[in-house]
Chains A and B, each alone.
Chain A
């Protein structure tokens, strides 16, 4: 059923029908695989998929589940599915008449962590139970996937699966293999049941009664040639997708990853996790594993990300029962803002006159401005640019010679950064729109699809309202700016409910943003268009603490908490820049762009200041 505002639908897990999901899925992210790997390489790799919540991990995994692929195969020629099918075919996941890959999706929940906190067990036993539980769940998930792919019913048709693995390594203790799917399923279900009985029991139970496993053999025994239906092999390869790995305890996660790395079997394994579980893998990327960091991927492809969002927006809008397009005005409406610009024009000229009354240096510039033949908006922007350049000129300490500067010199000094800064300053001074257009919305989304939807949903609601009022549905720049700021303010208000240690984090962000604001809006616009990031330099202050150790020092425990929380909840994100000595990389912590909106800062990258750890700590304590 179509709904009023499909932008309110979130996360793949919550979109129920497969066709609905596929219709809303934008295939652009698959280009990562197409661009970076040939098909064989893709299927033989151990791949990490990482991002903050909402960047599209689970959606990507859901795409490879049998139910999604079957739906796609059935409707491959439909206009809305064509592109997606083409890309998946390129990846060899599907052919024209068949699905080539069996996607087995296992989502981790916090209950695995329970095993770890179960004090009644020896550590060795705990590991064995963990692997048993994993094996049983992977096998159950695989059986389900096979039935789904064969369009059979679970669990009624389990007996139709032939599991003809020859148990040479004696993995199966309680059943004889080869066997049929039902026997295998019952074996797996039995293991899971006994483990739960153990966990639920108040009394000590001997774990000896449970079949413990010392390795993850399920990945080895689920192969196309071992899983037959009606004597036929239905697929060419198996893709194991382990979702939400960050929900395991850190010990389980580390153990699982190193176990998988050691085995390095030729099976395809994708692990998806949030960035909160980020740590060094001490292995070689490329040889041992590949990593797709969804946000990093989009970071380097700004225009492609905007294209992705446009495609998502169009797909969502097409799903609305109201038949309204998602349309944002990309230009300011001069008519709507005529009064504001008229006032700005007078104020700006007066400011420039006042600034230059003591000197003749800027006379030609003033004259140039007076004679400028453009729209009111263009006039005001030029005036603001001149104002910035005059401020810069006056700020010079050396004694200047009193002669008139040429227009040529002015034009040379006005670079793109000054243009951007002038636009920002103007909007702040005269309450003019700054955050508008699809390109801006894409920047505000900070490489995160869910964040985009968070902003797009209320904007689309407005389009629906405009449609109901029988006016044009495109939202004007002025209204976009107002609404986008309103949404950012609301997010800010909700922040204390969303994050742990919110008191510290909020104080830190407020102080940091106040600092950014004071640096950005200095009259000379020294870091044009503005500051919205910082780099941590430990070398200059903490003489008593070794530079690389400051982060693990107890004095900075609050700072560590704040930075970790900000990264895990995507309030800050890190970008690497090359600066200083040759080849030296620096990590810059940038504000998530919605925070820039909240504090009226520019959305550009590159404006950052170096701060010492104790200065950062002061922002938390103050």
Chain B
């Protein structure tokens, strides 16, 4: 659809006066060009403006369309690929390096503020080499991270489920560089968490349990590759909500207790999202009733029900986020932003679900 035609349609369905067009059109154009057009799950050929028009058209009254438009204009937080790349680039210097310096400082009995002295010591280089970096999903962009931080190929892996051969290979390479050594620090990296449920679930499931088992259970993949004496595990996200960080920390403590293990483990992120944006949405009654009305209950499946779901329109675990990531919208965002195209009401940035329900048999 030609942009001018799309803009004409938008002005028509929003019943904008010329004065409103003056204000809204430059804004929509600028934001679409800057970020919104790059959403990867738009159908081929579709750009933001078309999606916005189709999205607004499904709302019955002008007032509802205005509420929908307001959600986009005033609340939406879109994380572009460029913004995410920036977070990837700074993760090492902002979060990882300080941890390595601190660890080395303790071992050298130096104050952690003597940065140059610590970094010039070979122990720092060794600690850096003895770190293992594991990406927890595609979103972790671990390849870009490795190149930006100048890390050895043999200490960075894109997934935690790898074969014992690969681990053996990595260990041999490490021993070539530093004889008789094992990995002392493990960094687990992912892009985004809103509820923390993917990592630690109340029922004991989640990614972290699996990874910890593969590290601490004799005979499992990583058991022989790490130095259990001085092992540190750091879980790092580019973006996380405050709630998710709490939940994960709590989950880890629970896991440690249940297994009778004690090890140094931290959870941190570069960009922490507190509940201000959630409160802004939930305190807006007009917006809340709009979201109740335009919710398709069929998105609630067994996976969805693992989180809180009394107000399912607020997204998975009622996180109520206004966030869209350039490659996919998290299901923790408000549902009207992401509901897939096959539902009664469609999201503005339709989401590709991780748990597809394709039917292969009658």
Contacts and interface: CB of A to CB of B under 8 A. Distances in A.
A465 B8 contact: no
Contacts of A322: 4
Interface string B6-33: 0110010000101101100110010000
Interface residues of A, number: 13
Interface in A318-368: 322
Contact of A4 (B8, B11, B18, B29): B29
Nearest to B30: A4
A465 B4 contact: no
Given A4-B29, A461-B22, A462-B22, A469 B11 contact: yes
Most buried by B among A458, A461, A464, A468: A468
Q: In which size bucket is the chain B interface?
A: 10 to 19
Contact of B26 (A461, A466, A469): A461
Nearest to B4: A322
A468 B25 contact: yes
Interface in A1-32: 4-5
A70 B187 CA distance: 58
Nearest to B29: A4
A468 B14 CA distance: 13
Contact of B21 (A5, A458, A465): A465
Nearest to A459: B22
Nearest to B12: A469
Interface string A453-467: 000001001101110
Contact of B25 (A458, A465, A470, A471): A465
Contacts of A466: 18
Contacts of A471: 18
B22 A468 contact: no
Contacts of B26: 4-5, 461
Contacts of B4: 322, 468
Contacts of A458: 22
Nearest to A465: B21
A612 B19 CA distance: 45
B309 to A, nearest CB: 42
A477 to B, nearest CB: 15
B29 A468 contact: no
A464 B25 CA distance: 10
**In terms of DSSP, what is the predominant structure of the interface of chain B?**
helix
Nearest to B10: A468
Contacts of B22: 458, 461-462, 465
B29 A469 contact: no
B206 to A, nearest CB: 49
Contact of A462 (B8, B11, B16, B18): B18
A5 B30 CA distance: 12
A322 B21 CA distance: 14
A468 B7 CA distance: 7
Contacts of B16: 465, 469
Contacts of B21: 464-465, 468-469
Contacts of B25: 4, 464-465, 468
Interface in A408-462: 458, 461-462
Contacts of A461: 22, 26
A4 B26 CA distance: 9
Interface in B16-74: 16, 18-19, 21-22, 25-26, 29
Interface string A463-493: 0111011110000000000000000000000
A178 B205 CA distance: 81
A532 to B, nearest CB: 29
A530 B142 CA distance: 71
Contacts of B29: 4
B324 to A, nearest CB: 25
A528 to B, nearest CB: 34
Contacts of A4: 25-26, 29
A556 B22 CA distance: 46
Contacts of A465: 11, 16, 18-19, 21-22, 25
A323 to B, nearest CB: 9
B144 to A, nearest CB: 30
Interface in A292-329: 322
Interface string A142-169: 0000000000000000000000000000
Contacts of B7: 468
A462 B18 CA distance: 6
Nearest to A466: B18
Nearest to A486: B19
A5 B4 CA distance: 13
B77 to A, nearest CB: 25
Contacts of A464: 21, 25
A198 B22 CA distance: 53
Q: Please indicate which of the listed interface residues A464, A465, A468, A469 has the most CB atoms of chain B within 10 Å of its own CB.
A: A465
A468 B19 CA distance: 12
Nearest to A322: B4
A489 B21 CA distance: 20
A168 B168 CA distance: 77
A466 B11 CA distance: 11
Contacts of B11: 465, 468-469
A453 to B, nearest CB: 16
A486 to B, nearest CB: 10
Interface string B162-188: 000000000000000000000000000
A273 to B, nearest CB: 35
A470 B11 CA distance: 11
A4 B11 CA distance: 16
Interface string A551-563: 0000000000000
A308 to B, nearest CB: 26
Given A465-B16, A469-B21, 15 more contacts: A4-B25, A4-B26, A458-B22, A461-B22, A462-B18, A462-B19, A462-B22, A464-B21, A465-B18, A465-B19, A465-B21, A468-B4, A468-B25, A469-B18, A470-B8
Interface of A: 4-5, 322, 458, 461-462, 464-466, 468-471
7 contacts: A4-B25, A462-B19, A465-B16, A465-B19, A465-B25, A468-B8, A469-B18
**The 10 A-B residue pairs with the shortest CB-CB distance in the complex, in nearest-first order:** A465-B21, A465-B18, A461-B22, A466-B18, A465-B22, A468-B11, A462-B22, A468-B8, A468-B21, A469-B18
